[in-house]
Amino acid sequence: MILFDEERLHEYIKENKIQPFREKQILYELYKNQNISRDEMTTLSKDLKSWLAQNFEIINLTLEQLVETQDTTKFAFKTEDGHIIEAVLMFHWSKHFEWKLNRITLCLSSQIGCPMWCAFCVTGKLGLKRNLDWTEIVSQMLFVNNYIKKRFGKKEDGTLRAVRNVVFMWMGEPLLNYDNVKKAVEIMFRQDRFSLSRRHVTISTVGVISWIEKLISDKLECMLAVSLHAPTQELREKIIPNAKSTKLDKLMSTLSMYEKATWNRLFYEYIMIAGLTDWDQNAYDLISLLRGQNCHINLIPYNENPVMNFKESSISAINRFKEILEKWGLTVTVRDSLGREAKGACGQLGYEKLIGSH
């Protein structure tokens, strides 16, 4: 059993006639003290730690590989049934008199592989193995916070650094694992757990209409990023084969409902692939599609790799595309491609597994 499954932990505490405050102590060690080893949990008695060792796992992932660069850390985790999933930690630095770590973002996985088969994405080539359980999603967070603690220590005010932004946009289509993602997100929001702001948790989706409608009805107050990647149905079907079952006009109508229901700004991800998505006409089509919405567009330079045939748009093409959009009043950012060195940038996760099969 997993230690942070609170229902089962509560039952075991009660059945074994352990003092109720010990339950809070255990969970505090996990979430606030960021400890994932029994030896690190210094507030627990020796007997209690021994009891935990006999009955519970702390997390249900093991670290298989760690790749560190200045701006990112990529984690490859092995699940208990032998699959590999990946997550990437991104460090955002600022400089006044000296470099300072400003914020930390975690891009985590929600599935093993992905069923969407986006043409430019390595992860999609792996296919879908299974959904991650909510405990495997939370385990990624717990492990990464423990890593941050060990790498960076405490801040100047004595508090621990931790992940402050979470994006479900690495391995998998989060909305196709809705129930597990929802439970993990709710734990992230809890003040006595990860204590994340609702505006600092983002679910990224290629646009699964029925589950966006479920987000609306459930009032799950996170942010939504849509991997649009093309401004027309025809081009979108070339890039995202599963878009054939999701008509663009219906998707945009559903997103309009989401915007009105939540008052949240929508984020659109748009991949910049040379000779495919970076033409001037693509920009004008995008303007026609999004003008008047409360939205922000992230232009994502394509991350080249040897197992795919696409090329990254030139800097001049990206800048021209951005200028056209801005001229017509759209808010646009060109995304920094953090993680390229670690093969942990957008669309690269699973690279080592895929290249090894060729």
Residues 6+ apart with CB under 8 A from 145: 34, 160, 162, 163, 194
Number of helices and strands in the chain (H, E): 12, 12
All structural domains of the chain, each given as residue ranges with its CATH number in brackets, are 6-55 (1.10.150), 61-356 (3.20.20.70)
pLDDT (average), residues 324-338: 91
Query: Which range, of 108-112, 116-120, 257-261, averages the lowest pLDDT?
Result: 116-120
| Confidence (pLDDT) at 99 | 81
Distance separating alpha carbons of residues 127 and 86, to the nearest angstrom: 15
E-state strands within the chain? 61-68, 72-79, 84-95, 99-108, 111-113, 128-131, 165-168, 201-205, 223-227, 266-272, 295-301, 331-334
- The 10 Å CB-count burial string (b at 16+, else e) for 38-69 is beebeebeeebbebbeeebbbbbbeeeeebee
Task: Note the pTM of the prediction, 2 decimals.
Answer: 0.92
Structure tokens, 128: 């879908």
Active-site residue list: 86, 346
| Confidence (pLDDT) at 284 | 98
3-state secondary structure of 172: coil
Q: What is the pLDDT of residues 264-319, one digit of tens each?
A: 999 999 999 999 999 999 999 999 999 999 999 999 999 887 778 899 999 999 99
Q: What is the pLDDT of residues 165-200, one digit of tens each?
A: 999 998 999 999 999 999 999 999 999 999 999 999
